Each structure stands twice: as structure tokens, then as C-alpha cells.
Amino acid sequence: MPQVATADVTPFYSACIAMFTMMRPMKNLALFLLMTFASAAAQTAHRAPQSGSSAPPSSLVLAQGHGFPGRIQGTPGESPVTGLLKLLYENVNSAEAAASVRKIWENDRWFDFAHFQKTAENVADMMRRAGLDDVQIGYAPADGTTQAGFWTEPIAWDAHAGTLEIVSPKVPEDMRVLADYQRVPASLCMWSGSTPPGGVETEIVPAPNDLQNADLKGKLVLGGRMSKIALAKAGALGMIHESATNPALLDERDWVNSFGDNGWAFNKGNAPLVCFSITPRSQQYLHQLLEHGPVKVRANVDTRYYSGKYPYISGAILGTDGAASEEVFSLGHIFETGAGDNATGFSSILEATATLNRLIKEGKLPRPKRTIRILAMGERYGTLSYLYAHQDRVKRTIAGMCIDSPAGIQNLAGTEYNWVLNPQSATSFVDAFVLRLAAEYFPAIDRPYRWSEYNSGTDNDLGDPMINIPTVAPRGGHGIQAHHTSFDTPKQVDPDSLRDLSVMNAAYAYFIASAGPDQMHWMAQLALSRGYDQINAAAEHSLDQIAAAKNATDLARLLYWETARVDYNLARETKAVNQAKALPAELTALASFAGTQKTRIENAVQQRATELHLGTIQPSVPTINSEAEKIIVRRKRMGTLTMDDIPPIQREGYPASSFWGPTTAALYWCDGKRNLAEVIKMAELETGPSDFDWVGYFKFLQRHGYVDFVQQ
């Protein structure tokens, strides 16, 4: 980003800060929003003109990679998707998508299982009104014990009331009520326990440094992240969560939905502590009061835990190949309190699919050969339940898109979409295809976009080789940091961003679902071009490191790892091409190109050695753990490893692998054929070198039944 973008707003920020200190608290949020818009304007000043400008759109888009950067590319010419994108842009109804956002949000903002059931029924009705086929509501058991993969399904929970009021000292009326679920649902943490009927009067205490030895019996503990297990052992009634997502939102509060003892969700037998979430203004006020003496409050919470059902909903545009046809799916989340996280994702998918269905019925698009299926479900828990309940359908699903993203206001910085690709163990032609769509669509609407290597925190992990559905995902920002806060309402949703999500989703799903031999050949060529790009980009990065090397040790290490990286990239890019269509002659040429890059790297190492007056450099082969060479790991279930059935204190220091990280990368490379030494090498090529105790970790997983050793 050009330095001028920051320099130009410095005087403005200085004035804002001076004003900020003088203004009354109620005006702080308005000023914060003004500063945010100013920042956005400055940061986008160097971009292409916005729609409506008389100037022509920019012809360049920088697609930045998380690992190896994408290339600066000119606006593409006409392609097999040009007409489809134009047709979709002209027909997507963003107002309808925004109405769906509001309808889902108005119910899900209460975030209990009774409301989830109502949302499921509403969503099924939306799908039917859109003319979709095969609309079904399925259920996972919400009993706190059943597992889908190694994710333990949460126990069902309903909330009726949750209030927290200051009893003493006497305070102004507008500061007396700290939390009220009926007025602001996020005031109550999801899975909060109950107080005795009628409530209790108790004392608030700041979180002590030593929770283990503190006297917290019957008290509410005020603080940020705390050990729930430690609070329960200390006898605390519960906790008061201090909102830290965006302290500038003085009168908003965080939504707390992670309240399990050992993981995300609340499972059977977890500690039923009371939990409130309060605003930054209230927490500042409480700390001031606590400086002058005890603070007593009345807490009244009426909730219940029970064995229930966790719904998920599916609907489809049926393909011409019949009931056993291949499928392309789109997945969005529901059952969260925010409009941007999560109602926008599914609403954009619904509008995309409704638009396709309408165009098919109007004769403007032919019915696809493959079925297009859409899914609305609870994040992770609903998705894994669906995968296990429909394993035959999963085997026939050739591609997917997960939209777990806000539709942020486009004038705010950070709301552009970052297209997250598949893990490198599952590199796919759909990676190249979605970027080709983005390269054609976003310059046409004067909007930037980016891409990144895989980094999952959600259900875009279905490229996991054990699931084997290549899945891409757009990730955008809120503009104003509001993730999982009460500020995340439909007012923060931009219809134009909803439009962009819908157009991209519809184009992706329809083109793949309709693709015949010619279209698959074109997508294979896209993957081939990306293969050249990635191998070359990696080689350039290698050459930069070699040019900066200072000694023989570094050069020997680089000679081994960077030539190995060429082979690694060639293998996975070849796989991506073949997934679409076999191109033997073209792949022979790609292999020759990769060989040339290895020669460049080898020559660069020797040249740098000469410059440093060193002798001939030999590759420094890492010491291979002989035990790792003997172990072959076989995974037992789809999905990642939460370890939510093992208390953290019993995990021997090993991390859970719920989301993306080196241990998850290694898990994905375990195919029941590679030995553990080979798995470690692949994982380190993907995520970087590590001194992690891999053998100890996988032995721990084996002891606890997460994996089997085929050979040891």
C-alpha cells in the first residue's frame, strides 16, 4: 500500500484524536465511524475508480497469495464464463438476498435451539419458494455425547431470561442494568447455566491472577479469557465477559458462543456456569466502582439443557443426469447471532441458486447435467453430521464453495473478498477456476480481490483428502470490526457485496455442474497455467533466499529444501490438472519446466557459494527420525481433531487440531501409505520447518484412538 495513503490522513487523524478526548462518551461511536470511513477512503485512493465514475475501470488486479503471491494480471478477454457472469449480474436480486438476511437474523439472534428449529423451518420454506427440489430438514443429535467425526455434538440449550443489575452501590438508572437477554440477546452467553428461580444476589470480583487458590464461591468473576474449569473448581457462580473485539463500540457487546469445558461447544457434563457479556462502557464503569469498594448485583438466568435435535437443511436444482448424478454444493452457516456472521453467507447462496433456477425455467440457461445442492447448517457440527448421514452423496460431489463471510460495506477498508483455496494436500482445478472467475468479474465492477493459500477456520476444509470435496471460500471483513458482536446487524450488510457473493457463487456452481468435455478441458488448461505460475513463483522466492544466504550451512539447507519444493509443487499441480482432464503432453512440458527451475536453483546455489568464496555445496539432507520411517498412520474418521473428549490438562502439551495449523496439515497428508517421515516432510513444505515432536504427537493420537498405525 502506498505510503501516501497513510500520510494524507495524518492531519485528519490528529484532529480526530484531539476531538475524541473532548467529546462526551455517547458521541464516540459516531466519531469512530467517521474515522473508519476516512481510513477506507485513503486506503482505496490508489484503486480503480468506483462504479459510476466517468473514468474507465483499471485493467490490473493484484491477487495476493498467502504463500506464493499471485501475479498482476490484466483484465481477461472474453472466455467461456463471460456470458454467464453478465447474465447473472443482470439477474441477481440483492434486495431479495438482503431480505433473507433480515429474516434469518431476526430469529437466529436469539441463538437457542428452539429458535434454531424455527429458522430451519423458515429456511426450508425459502428454498421451496425459490422452486428448489428435494428440500429436506435433517437432524444431528444435540445430546452432548454423540460424535460426528471427532466433533462432539453440543447439548441442546434454550434461554428464556437473563438479567444482571447493580444492587449496590446506588448508580444512575442508565448504568444499573448491565445485561438483559430480552433487550439485547448477546447479553447472555450461549450455553449459560441458570441461577436458582427468581435469581440470586451476589458480588462481582475482578479475575484474580491465581484462579486455582482464589475464594470465588458464589461470586461472578469479571474479566476476559478465563479458564472455565478453574472457575468451576473455585466455586464461582459464573463469569462476566469483558467485550474486547472492538472497544470503540462502547455500547455493543461480544457474543460468547464458545462455552465448552474442553472445546467450542457445551457437552454433557460440562460445568453449567452462569455467563453474561457486557459492553465496554459498562466494564469501565464496573472497574471504577470496584476501586472504591464491593459491587453487588442481582443475576437472574432462566435456561435449560436437554437432549434435543440440531437441524440442517438442504435443497437442490436437480441435474439431467438423474438421481445418481454428480453434485456441486454450496454451504452457508446459520444459527449464529450476527447478520454478517452468519446470515449473509447462506442468503447469498440462496439468491444465487434461486436466480439460476429462475433462469433455467425461463429458458435462458439449460438445466445442468449435475445436481446443484445448497446446504444451510450449524458450523462444523451440522456439516460433519450431514457428511456422515449422506456418504453416498458426498462421494458423488465433485466441488464445493463455503461462504462464511460478511457482506461488508464496500467503501470500508478490508471488505474486499479474499478467495481461500484448498489445502496443498488437495490442490484442485477449482482453485484455478475460481480465480479465473474473480479475475474476470471483480475488475468489471471496479472492486479489488485477493487470494490466499488454505487457512481454514470453518467448513471450507472439505478438501480434506478423507472427505475429498475440493472447496473454495471467499472471506471478507466487516469493515468495522464487529465479528461476533451485537453490532453485527442487517444495517452493516451491503447489498452490493451480497450481489457479488451471489454472482460468484452462481457462476462457480453452474459452470462446474454444466461442464462437459470441452469445459473440463478449459478448466484443466486453467489449472495447467496456474501450475506454471506457482512453480515459477516458488522458484523466484527460492532464488531470493539463495541470493541473501550468508554461509555454506544456509546454502546447503536451501539446496535441499528448495529443489524438493519444486518436486512438491509439480506433483500437486499435476494432480490438479488431471482432476479436470488428463493432458499428458502438456504435463510433460510442465515437468520439463519444473526441471529447468531446479537447475536454476542448483546453479544459483553454486554461484552464491563462489561469491562467498566457498567450495562446492552439497544438499543438507535433514536427519530422518528412524522411528518415523517405520510408522504409517491411517486416519479413522473424516474431519479434524478437537480433542474435546480430553481435558486440556490431560493432553500432555499437544495441541488440538480443530482448525488449520501444522498438525492439521500433517493429518491431511496421512493417506495410509506414506510413512510418517514422508508426512512430516510434506507438512513442513506446506507450513514451514518445525522442531515439533511429530512422533510423540502421533503416538498420543494413537493411544487415544484418533488414528491407527498400519505399520510400526
What's the pLDDT at 624?
85
Q: Which residues lie across from 377 on neighbouring strands?
A: 312, 333
Higher local confidence (pLDDT), 225 or 609: 609
What's the pLDDT at 75?
63
What is the C-alpha end-to-end distance of the chain, expressed in Å?
52
Asked if 377 and 346 touch (Cβ cutoff 8 Å), the reply is no
Q: Residue range 348-372: average pLDDT? A: 98
pLDDT in tens, 449-468: 999 999 887 899 999 999 99
C-alpha cell at 693: 515432536
C-alpha cell at 219: 461470586
Residue 380: left if φ>0, alpha if ψ -120 to 50, beta else—which one?
left
What's the pLDDT at 601?
98
- pLDDT above 70 coverage of the chain, percent: 89
- pLDDT above 90 coverage of the chain, percent: 86
- Return all residues near 564 (Cβ < 8 A) that are at least 6 apart: 681, 685
Cα distances (angstroms) measured from residue 38 to each of 10, 13, 34, 51, 252: 11, 9, 6, 19, 22
Question: For residue 698, which amino acid is it?
Answer: F
C-alpha cell at 586: 502438456
pLDDT in tens, 96-121: 999 999 999 999 999 999 999 999 99
What's the pLDDT at 101?
98
Superfamily the domain 60-152+309-515 falls into = Zn peptidases (3.40.630.10)
Which of helix, strand or coil describes residue 328? Answer: strand
Q: Are strands 449-452 and 417-420 parallel, antiparallel or unpaired?
A: parallel
What's the pLDDT at 443?
96
C-alpha cell at 374: 445448497
Cα distances (angstroms) measured from residue 106 to each of 66, 116, 181, 334, 555: 36, 11, 14, 12, 60
CB neighbours (10 Å) of residue 144? 23
CATH code of domain 156-306? 3.50.30.30
Rounded distance, CA 685 to CA 678, Å?
Answer: 11
pLDDT above 70 (res 540): yes
What's the pLDDT at 37?
43
Cα distances (angstroms) measured from residue 387 to each of 151, 162, 312, 334, 356: 13, 36, 11, 17, 25
pLDDT above 60 (res 38): no
pLDDT above 70 (res 136): yes
What's the pLDDT at 50?
30
Which of helix, strand or coil describes residue 204? Answer: strand
Cα–Cα nearest to 360, from 643, 84, 140, 124? 84
What's the pLDDT at 40?
39
What's the pLDDT at 456?
81
pLDDT above 50 (res 11): no
C-alpha cell at 660: 488449520
C-alpha cell at 444: 468489471
Rounded distance, CA 475 to CA 463, Å?
Answer: 17
CB neighbours (10 Å) of residue 544? 10
Number of H helices, E strands in the chain: 21, 21
Q: Which residues lie across from 278 on neighbouring strands?
A: 242
pLDDT above 60 (res 42): no
Rounded distance, CA 638 to CA 434, Å?
Answer: 25
Cα distances (angstroms) measured from residue 61 to each of 421, 435, 450: 18, 11, 9
Q: Residue range 247-254: average pLDDT? A: 97
Instruction: Report the mean per-residue pLDDT for the chain.
Output: 90
Asked if 258 and 336 touch (Cβ cutoff 8 Å), the reply is no
Asked if 335 and 356 touch (Cβ cutoff 8 Å), the reply is no
b/e burial code for range 187-220 (CB count within 10 A of at least 16 → b): bbbbbbbbbeeebbebbbbebeeebeebebeebb
C-alpha cell at 470: 475440493
Confidence of residue 62 (pLDDT cuts 50, 70, 90): very low
pLDDT in tens, 280-310: 999 999 999 999 999 999 999 999 999 999 9
pLDDT above 90 (res 58): no
Task: Tell me which DSSP letter residue 273 carries.
Answer: -
pLDDT above 60 (res 693): yes
**Matching CATH number, 518-611, of 3.30.160, 1.10.8, 1.10.132, 1.10.3470:** 1.10.132
Higher local confidence (pLDDT), 12 or 470: 470
What's the pLDDT at 74?
52
Cβ-in-10-Å burial (0-12, 13-18, 19+) of 79 comes to middle
Asked if 399 and 479 touch (Cβ cutoff 8 Å), the reply is no
pLDDT above 50 (res 647): yes
pLDDT in tens, 217-249: 999 999 998 889 999 999 999 999 999 999 999
What's the pLDDT at 712?
73
What's the pLDDT at 245?
95
Q: Which residues lie across from 500 on neighbouring strands?
A: none
What's the pLDDT at 59?
29
pLDDT above 80 (res 2): no
Q: pTM of the full predicted structure? A: 0.89
- What number of residues does the chain have? 712
Q: Where are the alpha helices (DSSP H) in 157-241?
A: 173-176, 228-233
What's the pLDDT at 213?
83
Cα–Cα nearest to 163, from 292, 303, 316, 312? 303
pLDDT above 70 (res 610): yes
What's the pLDDT at 228?
93
pLDDT above 90 (res 598): yes
Q: Residue range 356-360: average pLDDT? A: 98
pLDDT above 80 (res 378): yes
CB neighbours (10 Å) of residue 673? 10
Rounded distance, CA 633 to CA 361, Å?
Answer: 50
pLDDT above 80 (res 595): yes
pLDDT above 90 (res 43): no
Cα distances (angstroms) measured from residue 557 to each of 552, 571, 615: 9, 21, 15
Confidence of residue 57 (pLDDT cuts 50, 70, 90): very low
pLDDT above 70 (res 29): no
